[in-house]
Amino acid sequence: MKNVAILGSTGSIGTQTIEVLKANPDDFKLVAISAGSNIRLLEEQIREFHPEICAVWDENKAKELEIAVADVVPSCRIVSGMDGLIEVAVIDSSDILITAVVGMIGITPTIAAINAGKDIGLANKETLVTAGHIIMPLAKEKGISILPVDSEHSAIFQCLNGERENHINKILLTASGGPFRGKTREELAEVTLEMALKHPNWSMGRKITIDSSTMVNKGLEVIEAKWLFDVDPSQIEVVVQPQSIIHSMVEFDDGAVMAQLGTPDMRLPIQYALYYPKRVYLEGKRLDFSTLTEITFSKPDPDTFLGLRYAYKAIECGGSMPTVFNAANECAVAKFLNKEIQFLEIYEMIDYCMNEHTNISDPSVEQILETEKWVYDIIESRWNR
């Protein structure tokens, strides 16, 4: 029996993690949950799973939830704010923390969990993009495992089974190309929020869906892969594979290419992280090679989808530049989701912040969070309307 804690239990990854736990009640117990403000779903989760603790970011919502679940036996402790998230991350009884929050808010609780000796099922890529240089050595020092949940990274991780001694020549990171694949820059100027929210293959949270449409998501994943698999960014090649059947590949020195294939279903990488190294039955569609007519490949278009270009630039600079890339994107996407800016302004904001930034090498957590604040401040002053 494995005890599981989840940061972001109400989101796309969080609820799919719970589906996996529910399908395997003899193997897992949910001991801690958390969310930003969705107390309606948290209440359902508390009534169904009786976790020991539940964190709500919003303090008032936490108080409301406390009253709503007062009748639950055994009771669940409701906590709030960053201290609350940290309590969920380090709870004594957990064996693994699934980091399914969105954004840099995950940095502090993830580091706290690693310090407390918890294995991490990592979905929250923004944390690794901005603080990979702190997290990876710390995980090694504490002897804990970082198990990738992102489908591409899970695929690479699966391709590397039994290959630890072998040198990776190249990582072939697949990308669907998102809803705007093939569009020109002029056409991108016209796209709406509703169009950007329609991903062709995956149903995901709103922020990552926008990131997929700008290809910033793939950029974040290049940086994520660099940290997870200890490769140079020049060894990571993005391959557009629009059917999302090949989840990524690894090329070894002898020219052999290993790939992991499957239907697009996030429960597989989630379940693989939870059970690693064991594979168990997962109900769902299987690939049918008698009807699968094609798997196609093309090169990304980094001149149009600048997300990828900025990501390579950020990781080449290193230091605090990936934080600037990520934070500017988080800020811009929030504005785009609020219909405050146009699609292409997401790129403008990232570019502006990266150009204005004086890089800090090897930033501490405090410096990363200060850099995040600096980004939000300069975007506010430059785009103040």
Task: Check binding of 205 to ligand NDP (CB under 6 A).
Answer: yes
Task: Check binding of 102 to ligand NDP (CB under 6 A).
Answer: yes
Sole binder of Mg ion in the list 52, 66, 150, 330 (CB under 5 A): 150
Give whichever of 123 and 346 is closer to ligand NDP, judged by the CB atom: 123
Tokens linked to 213: 């449409």
In the complex, minimum distance from the CB of residue 328 to ligand NDP, in angstroms, rounded to a whole number: 16
Q: Rule CB under 6 A: which of 139-198 touch ligand NDP?
A: 150
Say how far apart CA 81 and CA 280 lie, in whole Å: 36
Task: Check binding of 229 to ligand NDP (CB under 6 A).
Answer: no
Say how far apart CA 231 and CA 34 lie, in whole Å: 33
> For the chain, what is the radius of gyration of the CA atoms?
20
Q: Which stretch binds ligand NDP (CB under 6 A): 8-16, 133-141, 165-173, 342-350?
A: 8-16
In the complex, minimum distance from the CB of residue 202 to Mg ion, in angstroms, rounded to a whole number: 8
Count helices and strands in the chain by DSSP H and E runs: 16, 11
**Residue found under tokens 């196609």:** 296
Task: Check binding of 100 to ligand NDP (CB under 6 A).
Answer: yes
- Report DSSP state, residue 167: P
Tell me, by CB under 6 A, how many residues bind ligand NDP.
30
Say how far apart CA 21 and CA 1 lie, in whole Å: 11
Binding partner at 372 among ligand NDP, Mg ion, none, C-beta below 5 to 8 Å by kind: none
Task: Check binding of 113 to ligand NDP (CB under 6 A).
Answer: no
Task: Check binding of 132 to ligand NDP (CB under 6 A).
Answer: no
Task: Check binding of 202 to ligand NDP (CB under 6 A).
Answer: yes
The full DSSP string for 329-373 is: HHHHHHHHHTTSS-HHHHHHHHHHHHHH----SS--HHHHHHHHH
- What SS3 state is found at 252? strand
Beta strand extents in 108-201 (DSSP E only): 119-122, 146-148, 168-175
Task: Check binding of 204 to ligand NDP (CB under 6 A).
Answer: yes
Interface with Mg ion (CB under 5 A): 150-152
Interface with ligand NDP (CB under 6 A): 8-14, 34-38, 57, 85, 100-102, 105, 123-126, 150, 202, 204-208, 266
